Structure 1
Amino acid sequence: LDECVVVYLDDILIYSHDMKEHVEYLRRVFKILRRERFYVKLSKSEFALEMEAVEQLKKALTSAPVLILLDPERDYVIEADASEQALGAVLMQDQGNGLQPIADLNKKLHGAEINYPIHDKEALAIVITFKPWRCYLEGRRTTVYTDHCSLKYLKTQPNLSRRQVRWIDFLETHFHYDIVYKPGHKNKADALSGPAHVAAIQIEGMSPLLKGLFTHGYAIDPEIPLAEKRHLLQWDSDIAYRKGSTKIWVPNYPPLRQLLLEEYDNVLYAGHFGSNKTLTGIAKHYYWPHLAEDVQKFVTSCDTCQRMKSSKQKKAGLLQPLPVPEQPWQVVSLDFITGLPPTTSGHDAILVVIDKFSKMGHYIPTHTTARTEETAQLFIRYIISQHGIPTTLISDRDPKFTSKFWKELMSLLGTKLAMSSAYHPQTDGQTERLNLIVEQLLRAASDAST
């Protein structure tokens, strides 16, 4: 091992400098396999690839494929795959240069989906693929490649669960498709369905100043020897970690703990979000006894936190909630944040548009003096072009929203206007609440930069 052979799960990779050396290494490996009574399947073996894998990897890293524009007159090809935690798929077409990608998607499994049997997970990967690309795939023949062989018989399978019946009903009603088996190592969607926790490599280090504070703190903290005696610590590069965890144990050294608290609450990008989020941020990487109490005391004494926060206490009376929409971007709310310091581009206001179903928001830069026509253009460009025309639009009684032009425009679009009562922002409390968060972040950022 590691001399001429690398083993990964049940794969054996034999590497060498030339063919003569390669043959010798093959002979040695086969001799050991024969002695231990292990057998290699010839159909799954490849010999003397001559750096083909390395060259392909270098080419893939230096020349990423460009997505092509779809041709609505050609048939489509989908490669779908599922793992224990996620689904993935690639939409492709052959426009004369072989199969080329048009789009890809991946989705993390949630809730009951994680407990689906592998057959249903692979089927779900196909169903999930057809939903966002439905506008392209309807009316065209689509070939679906999967590495789960039994899915070839999904349409003719005699015994189906209710879930599978629903899926097949959806597919058969809207699409013309064929399911074809393709081995996993040839399936391009295999990488997209990999573990959801895999991310880009991050190299984290500790500055000499910070490490010096830790070293001094460990030396003077009387609790460290007691923690070691109770086997609560494990050491790595002179830094103590909580036993069985990747969290750094912070010694009882006030300058160090104060520095960490400021880093997670006071700095510009921290946002002064309060004790809960500050605690969550610190607890991901650090630990010390009574951490939650220290965070609460720090936030309570933070001047910016106390001055910039707005009261969230509900006023007395019975508030009636707005009806819950049935789908995203069916009901949206509009509001303005005005009177802001001008940016370098001259904007001094924000048009806030919130979807009442998904809570997704758009924060569009604009001007306090923007006319109704300009606001309508922003609404069409950023909202209607991406999410379609809403059925109901909730707003306050800003002159822009009560103008004749705005009312006629919404009437032509078929959108119902729902305006709040005068001097009663609680009618659209969700938007007002998000406005408070934005204003709070802007105040904290401007306070930190002065």
Structure 2
Amino acid sequence: MTTRSMAAQEGGQGHLEPGTMAQTVAKRKGKRRGKPPSNVPTVVDRAPEEEEAPEPTGEDIADLGNLPELAGWQLEGGPTRAEFCKVQKKCPTLEGLRRQATAQAAGDASGNNHWENDLLYSEPKVPGPGAARVLVVPQCYRAFLLDLAHYIPPAGHLGQDKTFNRLVTHFYWPRMRLASDTFCSGYPICQAFRKTGQKLKAPLLPLLISGTLFERVGIDIVGPLNPKTALDNRVILVLVDHATLYPETIPLRTVTAPVVTRALLGIFTRVGFPKEVVSDRDTNFMSAYMKSMWDECGVTYRFTTPYHPQSNGLVERFNKTLKGMINEA
């Protein structure tokens, strides 16, 4: 059973009579977006074009018609005034509001809820551009109003904030914001066409400050050098200690994994093996040959985030200094 048929079953087959708006709506000339079929019951009929809108009277109910007036669209299943009053007084979710309104009418309490012409109204806690009082809606009609504010074609399936703002200026019920947000976020059509341009990024984890000599080191490759050195070296292996910022540089002819591994072992045999090694995702650093050396030596190996060289910032900053020294030599 759809929300519209549920609302029709609860509210009966009648509909509100013309001129049932709590506020006078000023008409203006413009292009009409289409006239609904004459055999479709309406929530609130429009006043004829040649007649002025009637003034609201004490028998009027709140303006249930402002939402469909957005584009001349009207829905079936609207309740009569008598049916709405009856359901409003029996809805269990409004028990607390009814007690407060009754106590306020007797002068025993104060609050934002009050009875007016046998209908329960609520005054907004924060004054806004909407009505001074809004109609309290029973549970059986809430799905109908959510459909009206979000589902129908003129509503446009807009977001949670705009859907809620359409409702809150005319209606109120307990936890209305939660109901509106849940309705919008769980609607199948909205989920199918939801924006997917924003991609979630994995959070970056900062490196802890190292206070022990050669506890953590960063490595990188600088090059190719142009021109090559006298010994035909074309790249430089760079190692920087995170605790002391002590650098080591070793010129190399190639950057294959065995050559880089032997160069690193030459450094570690002098200063000791570190606990952690940080590098970018170069193929020689990620090779199985290099991984086997770290596993045998008990060294934890960490790779930087792709396209984020700041993760190995100490080495990258020294690379800039090293390139400047070479260019000026």
* Structure showing greater Rg: 2
Fold-level match, TM-score > 0.5? no
Q: Which has the higher contact order (CA 8 A, sep 6+)?
A: 2
> What is the TM-score with the length of structure 2 in the denominator?
0.37
> What is the TM-score with the length of structure 1 in the denominator?
0.27
Q: Which has the higher strand share?
A: 1
Q: Which has the higher helix share?
A: 1
